[in-house]
Amino acid sequence: MNEQFTLEVQLNVEHTAGSFGEIAYRWFDEVSAGVAAEARAAVAPLAATVGRPPTPYGPLGEPGTVFGVVQCTRMKTAFESRTTERNASAAGMRWLRTQLADMPAQASMWFGRLDEHGHRSGRLLYLRARRLADSPDWLRLEAHLDESEFTDPVHGRDRQQRYLEAAWPFADEFDPGFGDIDYTFDGETTFETSLRSPERPRQWWDHTSSVNHCREFLRGYSWLTILPKELAAVVGGAGALTASGAFSQVRRLRHGGFWLLATDDYRDYDQAAVERVFRALAPALRAGTPTQWPRRSGESPQRQVFRDAAGTGS
């Protein structure tokens, strides 16, 4: 049986880009409209309040029915939180917008289908926006999806394009300090994960705070990499990025950063392509020799080059 992995679309947006609440709302509204329009339409007429089963642990509805919920989590104390949810209907989206006016620690949107028991299951779409205590000046915009959506022989290219087209306006408008599409490590990049070792399991550049320094060092590299404007000259600018042959797309973003897509088709992003991207972006990466950890079942692969980026150039 083939293992199934989760991909994460991630964009790191700084407070100078505008209201976090408004940016987060647009992320939920626009990405879901572009990627899961049919699911949005299916739940649109519902009331905001989520219905509860008549009996404890009973079914929420007919098996196979599309569901969609939005949730907001606020920290009551440093160790205690409270989560509220509504349907991702038109009424629920109005509720979400009022909640995001005072940006919570985390907000999310989940679409799926009720399983054979009438319980929530599956992932037609999962979006998240969050602020972590160690990086309060940054908003993390995320979308999680099954890698099989991108590798599907029939619909894979269409799904890839939908996510890329949904992410592009945010990358172009909000001057992100970093962005990528890669295997998920709960917000940490593959590169950051590989820079750990038994001697340095947690450092100031770990995933909770490394975003604070993403305009000084590139957090990682992947199939899609968003390079901030501050690091463009470090890698030689548009000319060097294009000449490297590492990217099928080198698109300059409105504020001076770059949208770098390694291959037109995600399925072509093999180890040789990873090597090309690494060499092109190595001057912007933090120095240090990555560690290839033994991978346990269910863990994401480390799609990396296990060499020190220091001294490596395109």
pTM across the whole model: 0.93
Q: Note whether 120 and 60 are within 8 A (CB).
A: yes
Q: Note whether 235 and 227 are within 8 A (CB).
A: yes
For 133-174, the pLDDT digits (tens) are: 889 999 999 999 999 999 999 999 999 999 999 999 999 999
Residue carrying the six token digits 């509220």? 84
For 271-314, the pLDDT digits (tens) are: 999 999 999 999 999 998 998 888 777 788 899 999 999 877 54
Residues in a beta bridge with 129:
107, 141
Rounded Cα distance between 174 and 76, Å, is: 30
